[in-house]
Amino acid sequence: ETFEHMKRSGDYFVTVVEDTNLGQIVATATLVIEHKFTHSCAKRGRIEDVVVSGECRGKQLGKLLLSTLTLLSKRLNCYKITLECLPKNVDFYKKFGFLVSDENYMFQRFFN
């Protein structure tokens, strides 16, 4: 039901890399488009759920996913793209032009 909603909305772009020999997804990332009232009702892209399986790390799949979603966000006329990551992953994202923001990141968790 959730996946069908995501497909219908047109604002979720799930990218996957499949190992066709194994028939398994080995990497994935999602671009979520947010429609903002600010910036003249512009769109903001948010990259989420970037995952590369352990055995496939170091094969440039993360680079492929980020390049794909960055290009897509530009084509969709997003004024910016953002993502959240663990401190240990900051240097990885900096390689692709992402900057560390001085803004505070805050959240409330309602369930795991």
For residue 99, the 8-state DSSP code is -
User: At residue 64, what are phi and psi to the nearest 5 degrees?
Assistant: -60, -45
Does 75 map to a domain? Answer: yes
Residue 81 sits in a domain whose CATH number is 3.40.630.30
The range of the structural domain enclosing residue 26 comes to 2-94
14-27 mean pLDDT = 94
pLDDT at 63: 95
Please check whether residue 76 lies inside any domain of the structure.
Answer: yes
Is the residue at 109 inside a domain? no
| Domain contains 59 | yes
Q: Considering the entire predicted model, what is its pTM?
A: 0.85
Q: Is residue 102 part of a domain?
A: no
One DSSP character per residue, 48-97 reads: EEEEE-GGGTTSSHHHHHHHHHHHHHHHTTEEEEEE---GGGHHHHHTTT
pLDDT in tens, 27-84: 999 999 999 888 788 999 999 999 999 999 999 999 999 999 999 999 999 999 999 9
**Number of structural domains the chain divides into:** 1
Please, are residues 17 and 61 in contact by the beta-carbon 8 Å criterion?
yes
